Each structure stands twice: as structure tokens, then as C-alpha cells.
């Protein structure tokens, strides 16, 4: 799995795994089973049902925990270190702060230090404007290159800059990198510049009958990304605005309503070129879930995703406007 989507998948893995130490509390209110599930990554089995794994202290621990609540609902918990290593994400633990550390950690002065003795090949670059060192196995300390310094096609064992592999889209400002089940977009301005006191005020002014606002949340500390969530019964529709200086987004294209079974091959999601208010736009249909990306004249990128098809999504997209006050 490529690094550029690891951060997206990581939130899912962390949510599953951080409660591993709470087995006693879980058992008090439900039923706990061990080593119940297989774990597959990209169709390849990594942990087999019934298999224990070996922790860093050489002790055997469950490969998975299945918690069944009083209502019969089932939740699988996976060991976070194993999952992070499968996804290529550095992991550590700050015992003083009682904090699990995932990915590169920021420290004062715009620098980051990564200690990664067990997963030594996963850190090979750092974001532009940052300085970073990594402690490899054996204690060797190396300074990491910035992302923009990497070649478009990196030598074996190194990580290429995905932005250099992205394509320019005529008439649009964001670059696009489409792969089988993922898509990434790269903005025209440096990420994080400038900062805003208020989040973007863009949102749909029209929705199909029966749909209503459920939630609104800022997804960026600099107020560069904001999401509005709508619903109708079991249906869900999210509208997200990425200001031109948001930098980058990358998402997996999947059917929200389809069961995600281990080892199940998911079909490729194809790009469909459409138009929103006369401007070129990208549409992807993953089963019952649609994804529509488009830009406005100012270079802001919009994403509409949810349980609507292309025909129903485009009128919603064309109603988007900036609502202030």
C-alpha cells in the first residue's frame, strides 16, 4: 500500500486498535473472543484466524479481539503496532504523556525526529519546510530529504514524490493522480498559507427533497478545509471545500454500503469526465456511492460524496455558493 494513502487508512486502524488494552472493561459489559478474524492487506492474508503474534517483548498476544456487545453487535480490535507496520506508518509511545505516536512527530522549531528501529525502511522523506532525522536500526542517524527534492521516479527502496507523477488537467489548477481505487489532488499553492479565522463558507444552497443538514466540521487547523454532512434516512451526503491553499487530499474510492470482506477483490473505479456549471469535473461511481470533484474560478476544490448518482449530484454541486453571515 502506498504511503500517500496511509494517513487516510491510519485513522481506521487506530480506531480499531487503541482499545486493545481495555479487554477487561469490555468483558464486563459484553463477550470477548480472541484470534477470531483473518486480516488481509490488498488481498494478501497477513494475520490468520487462530494466529497469535509476537510482541516487541517476545510475548505472544492475540492477533485480533472480537467484542460482542449486549445487543449482538460485533467489533474487531487489532494490534496497532502490527497494523501500522503493514501500512508503512512509523509508530512509537510516549510513556510520560501516555500518547501513541503515529507518523512523523512535530517538535518546536519546525523540526521532527523519528525513531524507527523496527520498521526502518518506511521513512524516506519529510514535508517541504521541515527538517527531519531518523534513527535507523543499529542507531545510525540520517537526515531525510524534503518531498520536493525527490525524483519523480525514485530508485528502488526510496519513495518518489507523488505530486511529480500527477497530471495537469486543462482549464483546472489542481493536479490529479488517479490509481485503481484511489485518487489524489494537489493544490496550486503551498499548503497552510495563509491561515484564516473562519472556515470556508461554501456549501450547497439546494438539496433533493427530504435531505437535511446533520453536521458541520472544520477538518484543518488553519480553516482551509470544511465539511458539511447531510442525511436522509440511511442515506448520507458529504460536501467538502478545500481552499486553494489546502495543499493536498487523497481518498479511497469505495462503496459505503458494501460489506468490506477480507480478501474480496474490489473492482477498479473509473474516472468519468462531466461538467459542473460549464467547468470540467471528475466523477467516480463506486457501487452505490458517488464522488464528484470540481473547482471554482478561484481555484478552490470541492468534493461531493455519498449515496447519490451522477444525475442527482450535479444539481447539488451547481447550487454551491459562498454563504457568509
Which residues, 6 or more positions from 234, have their beta carbon under 8 angstroms from its beta carbon? none
Distance of CA 175 to the CA centre of its chain: 18
In sequence order, which residues have a C-beta less than 8 Å from that of residue 286 and are 6 or more positions away? 253, 254, 255, 269
Residue with the bigger pLDDT between 6 and 112: it is: 112
Q: Worst-scoring range by mean pLDDT, 105-109, 152-156, 279-283?
A: 105-109
Q: What percent of the chain has pLDDT over 70?
A: 62
Pairing of strands 111-115, 131-135: parallel
What does 48-105 look like in DSSP terms, one character per residue?
A: -TT-EEE-TTS-EEES-EEEE-TTS-EEEE--HHHHHHHHT--EEEETTTTEEEES--
Q: For the segment 80-122, what is each residue's pLDDT rounded down to a tens digit?
A: 777 776 776 666 666 556 777 776 555 444 444 444 333 333 3
pTM: 0.55
Least confident of 33-37, 214-218, 241-245: 33-37
Q: What is the mean pLDDT of residues 113-139?
A: 50
- Least confident stretch, 96-100, 183-187, 213-217, 282-286: 96-100
What's the chain's average pLDDT? Answer: 74
Q: Of the segments 5-19, 116-130, 168-182, which one has the largest average pLDDT value?
A: 168-182
Predicted pLDDT of residue 257:
84
pLDDT at 150: 56
Set of cell numbers at residue 320? 454551491
Q: Give the DSSP H or E segment for 10.
A: helix 6-17
Query: Which whole number is the average pLDDT over 9-18?
Result: 39
Residue 21: φ, ψ to 5°: -80, 0
Per-residue pLDDT at 223: 87
Cβ within 8 Å of residue 95, ≥6 positions away:
none
Calculate the CA 287 to chain-centre distance. 20
Bridge partners, 132 (sequence order): 112
- Residue 74: closest CA among 26, 42, 40, 41: 26
Cell of 111: 523540526
The per-residue pLDDT for 95 is 58
Amino acid at each position: 500500500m502506498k504511503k500517500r494513502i496511509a494517513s487516510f487508512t491510519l485513522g481506521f486502524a487506530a480506531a480499531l486498535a487503541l482499545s486493545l488494552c481495555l479487554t477487561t472493561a469490555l468483558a464486563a459489559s459484553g463477550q470477548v473472543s480472541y484470534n477470531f478474524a483473518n486480516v488481509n492487506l490488498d488481498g494478501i492474508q497477513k494475520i490468520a484466524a487462530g494466529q497469535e503474534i509476537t510482541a516487541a517483548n517476545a510475548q505472544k498476544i492475540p492477533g485480533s479481539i472480537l467484542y460482542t456487545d449486549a445487543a449482538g453487535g460485533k467489533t474487531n480490535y487489532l494490534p496497532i503496532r502490527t497494523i501500522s507496520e503493514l501500512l508503512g506508518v512509523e509508530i512509537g509511545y510516549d510513556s510520560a504523556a501516555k500518547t501513541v505516536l503515529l507518523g512523523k512527530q512535530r517538535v518546536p522549531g519546525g523540526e521532527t525526529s523519528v525513531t524507527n528501529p523496527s520498521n526502518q525502511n518506511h521513512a524516506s522523506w519529510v514535508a517541504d519546510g521541515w527538517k527531519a532525522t531518523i534513527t535507523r536500526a543499529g542507531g545510525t542517524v540520517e537526515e531525510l530529504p524534503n518531498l520536493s527534492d525527490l525524483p519523480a521516479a525514485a530508485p528502488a527502496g526510496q519513495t518518489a514524490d507523488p505530486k511529480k507523477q500527477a497530471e495537469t488537467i486543462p482549464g483546472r489548477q489542481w493536479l490529479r493522480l488517479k490509481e485503481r481505487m484511489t485518487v489524489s489532488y494537489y493544490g496550486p499553492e503551498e499548503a497552510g498559507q495563509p491561515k484564516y479565522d473562519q472556515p470556508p463558507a461554501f456549501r450547497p444552497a439546494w438539496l433533493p427533497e427530504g435531505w437535511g443538514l446533520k453536521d458541520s466540521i472544520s477538518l484543518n487547523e488553519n480553516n482551509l478545509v470544511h465539511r458539511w454532512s447531510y442525511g436522509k434516512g440511511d442515506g448520507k451526503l458529504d460536501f467538502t471545500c478545500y481552499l486553494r491553499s489546502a495543499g493536498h487530499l487523497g481518498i479511497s474510492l469505495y462503496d459505503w454500503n458494501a460489506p468490506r470482506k477480507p480478501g474480496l477483490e474490489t473492482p477498479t473505479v473509473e474516472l468519468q469526465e462531466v461538467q459542473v456549471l460549464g467547468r470540467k469535473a471528475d466523477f467516480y461511481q463506486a457501487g452505490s456511492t458517488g464522488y464528484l470533484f470540481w473547482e471554482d474560478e478561484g481555484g478552490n476544490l470541492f468534493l461531493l460524496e455519498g449515496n447519490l448518482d451522477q444525475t442527482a449530484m450535479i444539481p447539488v454541486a451547481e447550487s454551491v455558493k459562498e454563504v457568509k453571515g
